[in-house]
A and B are shown apart, each in its own frame.
Chain A
Amino acid sequence: MFAQARAALFATVFFTLLLGVAYPLAVTGVAQLAFPDQAGGSLVRDAAGRVIGSRLIAQPFAEARYLHPRPSAAGADGYDASGSSGSNLGPLNPALAARIGRTAAGLRADGPAPIPADAVTASGSGLDPDVSPANAARQAPRIAAARGVAVGEVQRVIAAHTRQPALGILGQPAVNVLAVNLALDARFPRAHPPPR
């Protein structure tokens, strides 16, 4: 029995140091040297170097001139990047139907076009950085009107930031919301910020 306990203790300590300390530190070292951008969280900075978000993480957009992300159930107000979560509502939960009804009613104010499923459903993480191409296309007229530009211009920006499935079959086409909005601001800069 003593021999078993001694072996168990040694193995636990040794492997905790090797696999729990040395291994993650080694990966961190390689990652920081070879891929500092990804290893740091794919952060996006403004001209002054301040962090304005991550390419991989949804952030809230409510103004008409921006592409809007999917609804989020992360944190009390959504888009909490330190508290990822889906809604965890079952398909027949009345609270789900009520929430979808409210969201859909709000979207119909934009126009009568059909509403894609991703526009009214909360993602698994609450931080889905993408919307579907149909969802983005539905928002293009609103964005164009708010910015006073042709719809085709907005559509071109969206198309430039749409990823197609890898190898044609892996995953679904997706439009990165933050990338589109940064491109829109870069392409159609405004003299004055809008009233808040």
Chain B
Amino acid sequence: MNASGWAEIALTLALVVALAVPLGAYLARVWQGGTTWLDPVLRPVERLVCAGCGPGAGRSQGWLAYALSFLAFSGAGFVTLYLILRFQDVLPLNPQGFAGLSPHLAFNTAVSFVSNTNWQSYVPEQTVSTFSQMAGLTSHNFLSAAAGMALAAVVARAFAADRAEGLGNFWVDLTRISLYVLLPISLAIAVVYVALGEPQTLLANVSATTVEGGRQTIALFPTASQEAIKQLGTNGGGVFNANSAHPFENPNAWTNLIEIVSMNALSLACVVAFGRVVLARREARALAAVMVILVAAGAGAIYAAETQAPPALVAHGVDASVNMEGKEVRFGAPSTAAWAAATTGASDGGVNAMHDSLMPLGGGVAMFLMQLGEIAPGGVGSGLYGMVVMALIAVFVAGLMVGRTPEYLGKKVEAREIKFAMLAVLILPAAILGFSAAAAVLPVALKGLANGGPHGLSEILYAYTSAAANNGSAFAGLTANTPWWNTTLAIAMLLGRFAYAVPVLAIAGALAARPKLSASAGTFPTDGPLFVGLLIGVILIMGGLQFFPALALAPIVEHVQALQAVAAAR
């Protein structure tokens, strides 16, 4: 570890915070239907979409109608994407001549991109045609992100409402977020990425005769356009197998900085926008502080882990000051640590180093950040509503301690909301631990592992954690392109996305119908350091209690083994 490494991590996080404030102000205007400077161009398009969605498509919906629209849209997206992937061999723009995906792989991939997970069971540059990348995957990078942010807008409106029924309209939210937020920012970032070296071409493979006379086939894709929304929308599905470790997806320190910042800034901006819509900026600041503290602690812990002595380097007398297996020279430990924390704290899942080869605690912290529920700062939109669920549980715990009915942001929190909140929060451990327990004993699952011992258990745990948390990063040694893994991971992704989102919408419906109260002397303050501490405590205890036994058997025991191996070699 050195000062420049710490400075790099600090600068990256500072940029995230600095950008989230103006972005959040803009996002609040988009959520509330306000005017923006893009109106002259985009208003007509917005009106066109609303008209196309049918008569009355602009009407404000109750929570159930909103949820049905969200589910109908996700279902339509799933079917189209499944068909595109299955039949890419007869669709245009397949210069590589790839066959259609197998049914279980197409199912897994379609679920993955519709649920904003972007887990990749396949090697993209050997599997997915240019058309599938663009029309199939790039478009769902936008749409799954926009749907998540639409749900966040609903939660904000619910807290702002006073005895209201309507929570806004899904189609309007989806359209406005896609058109006014995601599309223009992605366009700008994509052009910058090309300038910094990322390819953007419809030509597929270039054949090169190397300096020493060998042959090398260089795969090319419209990379920059997908990279921009992949990071901005906390998607994480790359056009290359190595994701953002690939020099075409992430050629240098500048692209690395922009990619990290863009994968966290919009999630944090959702919190800023929430504060503006609910007129609770100080309380929103407390939520944002919790997110930043958690992701910063994660980045620091991973940096410390990755500069521990790797046993294999010590054993052979090689410089052991940094674990370079799976890392790129241009990034080294600090850029990798900042990225690994940002990608697992947000539900991005892109990687700029191979997480399977991280030190035991480096990979363990990455896993733990996902297990906290993807709220540091979480996926775009989903991070905000996940954090609000945690805040409801925190005020409930505080209410139990002082014996008062809890309230949050002027809304009484009653049994119905807490039941739905617990239902949502229990999805993650049920999916992760349930599937992991099954996979750990089934031969059909175990034959996919690349590493044995506790690291093998880490590969299993990481896979289901990543899927259920809709993250998408992997301990990529796991061979997941088999019917067992593709199917069970897809089910975990569906549970993590939809079995979480629907209770959240139900909570929003219940809260919106309640009267908005003004704070009284008995109201527990939710804007100061006390609440920040309480909320972090609730988050860590929930994550810790649920997952600590499993983590103890995997990364923690492996860490002890690594220390022993280093001591024995020295």
A residues lining the B interface (CB < 8 Å): 3-16, 18-21, 23-24, 26-28, 30-32, 34-35, 38-43, 50-54, 56-57, 59-63, 66, 70, 74, 79-93, 96-97, 100-101, 104, 114-132, 134, 163, 165-172, 174, 178, 181-182, 185, 196
Within 8 A of A (CB), among B34-53: 49, 52-53
Q: How far is the CA of A32 from the CA of B311 in the complex (A)?
A: 47
Quick check: A100 and B318 within 8 Å, CB to CB?
Answer: yes
Partner of A51, one of B57, B125, B206, B452: B206
Q: How far is the CA of A122 from the CA of B208 in the complex (A)?
A: 22
Quick check: A41 and B316 within 8 Å, CB to CB?
Answer: no
Quick check: B210 and A86 within 8 Å, CB to CB?
Answer: no
Q: How far is the CA of A16 from the CA of B80 in the complex (A)?
A: 9
Question: A8-B72, A166-B253 in contact; A26/B187 too (CB < 8 A)?
Answer: yes
Quick check: B171 and A11 within 8 Å, CB to CB?
Answer: yes
Q: Does B241 contact A (CB under 8 A)?
A: yes
Q: Which residue of A lies closest to B226 (CB)?
A: A24
Q: How far is the CA of A20 from the CA of B248 in the complex (A)?
A: 20
Quick check: A90 and B451 within 8 Å, CB to CB?
Answer: yes
Q: Which residue of A lies closest to B455 (CB)?
A: A90
Quick check: B138 and A19 within 8 Å, CB to CB?
Answer: yes
| Beyond known contacts A57-B247, A59-B211, A127-B247: 6 more, CB 8 A cutoff | A3-B56, A53-B210, A88-B475, A117-B324, A123-B245, A165-B4
Quick check: B325 and A87 within 8 Å, CB to CB?
Answer: yes
12 pairs from A and B in contact (CB 8 Å cutoff): A3-B54, A11-B52, A11-B171, A24-B226, A28-B200, A30-B191, A32-B200, A34-B194, A34-B195, A86-B325, A115-B318, A170-B256
Quick check: B220 and A41 within 8 Å, CB to CB?
Answer: yes
Quick check: A84 and B240 within 8 Å, CB to CB?
Answer: yes
Residue of B8, B123, B136, B476 ringed by the most chain A CB atoms within 10 A: B8
Q: How far is the CA of A13 from the CA of B48 in the complex (A)?
A: 13
Partner of A39, one of B194, B206, B357: B194
Quick check: B357 and A91 within 8 Å, CB to CB?
Answer: yes
Q: How far is the CA of A118 from the CA of B244 in the complex (A)?
A: 19
Q: Residues of B contacting A163 with CB < 8 Å?
A: 252, 330
B380 CB to nearest chain A CB (Å): 15
B residues lining the A interface (CB < 8 Å): 4-5, 7-8, 11, 49, 52-54, 56-57, 68-69, 72-73, 75-77, 80, 123, 125-126, 134-136, 138-139, 142-143, 171, 174-175, 178, 183, 186-187, 190-191, 194-203, 205-214, 216-220, 222, 224-226, 229, 240-242, 245-248, 251-254, 256-257, 310-313, 315-332, 335, 351-354, 356-360, 450-453, 455, 458, 475-477, 558, 561-562, 565
Report the tally of A-B residue pairs with Cβ distances under 8 A.
Answer: 388
B72 CB to nearest chain A CB (Å): 4
Closest 9 CB pairs of A and B: A171-B253, A20-B139, A124-B245, A88-B477, A86-B354, A90-B455, A172-B332, A125-B242, A84-B242
Q: How far is the CA of A66 from the CA of B212 in the complex (A)?
A: 9
Q: How far is the CA of A63 from the CA of B317 in the complex (A)?
A: 25
Quick check: B328 and A125 within 8 Å, CB to CB?
Answer: yes
Quick check: A182 and B72 within 8 Å, CB to CB?
Answer: no
Quick check: B455 and A57 within 8 Å, CB to CB?
Answer: no
Q: Which residue of A lies closest to B68 (CB)?
A: A4
Partner of B562, one of A52, A63, A81, A91: A91
Quick check: A56 and B217 within 8 Å, CB to CB?
Answer: no
Q: How far is the CA of A84 from the CA of B69 in the complex (A)?
A: 39
Quick check: A88 and B476 within 8 Å, CB to CB?
Answer: yes
Q: How far is the CA of A114 from the CA of B318 in the complex (A)?
A: 7
A116 CB to nearest chain B CB (Å): 5
Q: Which residue of B lies closest to A71 (CB)?
A: B325
Q: How far is the CA of A120 from the CA of B208 in the complex (A)?
A: 26
Quick check: A117 and B208 within 8 Å, CB to CB?
Answer: no
Partner of B322, one of A81, A117, A120: A117
Question: A90-B477, A104-B316 in contact; A54/B123 too (CB < 8 A)?
Answer: no
Quick check: B138 and A20 within 8 Å, CB to CB?
Answer: yes
A167 CB to nearest chain B CB (Å): 8
Q: Residues of B contacting A80 with CB < 8 Å?
A: 217
Q: Residues of A contacting B325 with CB < 8 Å?
A: 86-87, 89, 91, 96, 121-122
A70 CB to nearest chain B CB (Å): 7
Question: A12-B80, A24-B222 in contact; A124/B242 too (CB < 8 A)?
Answer: yes
Q: Which residue of A lies closest to B565 (CB)?
A: A92
Partner of A123, one of B198, B328, B475: B328
A45 CB to nearest chain B CB (Å): 9
Quick check: B208 and A92 within 8 Å, CB to CB?
Answer: no
Q: How far is the CA of A26 from the CA of B322 in the complex (A)?
A: 42
Quick check: B136 and A20 within 8 Å, CB to CB?
Answer: yes
Q: Which residue of A lies closest to B254 (CB)?
A: A166
